[in-house]
Amino acid sequence: MATPLITVTPEPAAINAAGPAAAWSRRVRRIGGFIQAAFAAFWLTRPSLAIGGRTGDVLIAVSAVAVIGVFSYAIKVTAGTAPRPAGPEARRIERLVTAATVIELVAAFVLPVIVIAAGRSDWVLPSIVITIGPLLLYLDHLVHIPRYRPVGWALIAGPVILVATMSGTALAVTTGIAAGLVLLGTAAAGFHDLAGLRPALRAGSGSARRPDDHVSG
């Protein structure tokens, strides 16, 4: 009989626990983190183009360096930390994650159409950002990623506040930069969580293979 491995890991400790939810917590941090970083590139590019000129060029260059840096870090430190979990409960969670993501994508297309039809074309970017918040809140509820809770609420309340206080180019630029930085930071933090798991995961793999992990009956 193999002796179970018990480890203590960085926040949140639950991501190193056994079970489908913990496994999907790791997978959402990794796969979701790559998606967040990709969207961050989009959000940071939009205001750069809106600003234009030398300032816009500098912002694009800085954003590119930041996004590439996060992607490079993720590829280096998260390999093997979030395999696709198997089993009935894992498949149920996967269906829920997929459904929530699809709903968010549909909402991200529908809301801009609605605000444009209402004559508020400068609300397009805030209307897209606001759809991300509920998705993050739901993912926190489903697979326990506490960081997603304040980020989710910020992405819901932030666009409302910006729409109430800004308009035109200022609204687009502020929304894009804020959303891009929040998403990129969230992705990087998730990758950092997974990086902290790698020593424990390697130790677990080695422990499972060592003959002294078996006891005679």
Residue 208, domain member (yes or no) = no
At residue 2, the 3 state secondary structure works out as coil
Residue 133, domain member (yes or no) = yes
String of DSSP letters for 16-51 = GSSSHHHHHHHHIIIIIHHHHHHHHHHHHHHHHHHH
Residue 166, domain member (yes or no) = yes
Task: Report the alpha-carbon distance of residue 61 to residue 144 in Å, rounded.
Answer: 35
pTM, full prediction: 0.81
Residue 164, domain member (yes or no) = yes
Tokens of 83: 């395999």
Q: What is the mean pLDDT of each run of 10 residues along the chain (217 residues)?
A: 37 59 94 94 86 88 94 93 90 96 96 94 93 97 95 96 93 93 96 82 50 37
Residue 22, domain member (yes or no) = yes
Q: Write down the pLDDT at residue 148.
A: 97
Q: Write down the pLDDT at residue 208.
A: 43
Q: How many domains does the chain have?
A: 1
Residue 9, domain member (yes or no) = no
Q: Write down the pLDDT at residue 214.
A: 39
> Structural domain of residue 148, as residue ranges?
18-199
Tokens of 8: 């203590």
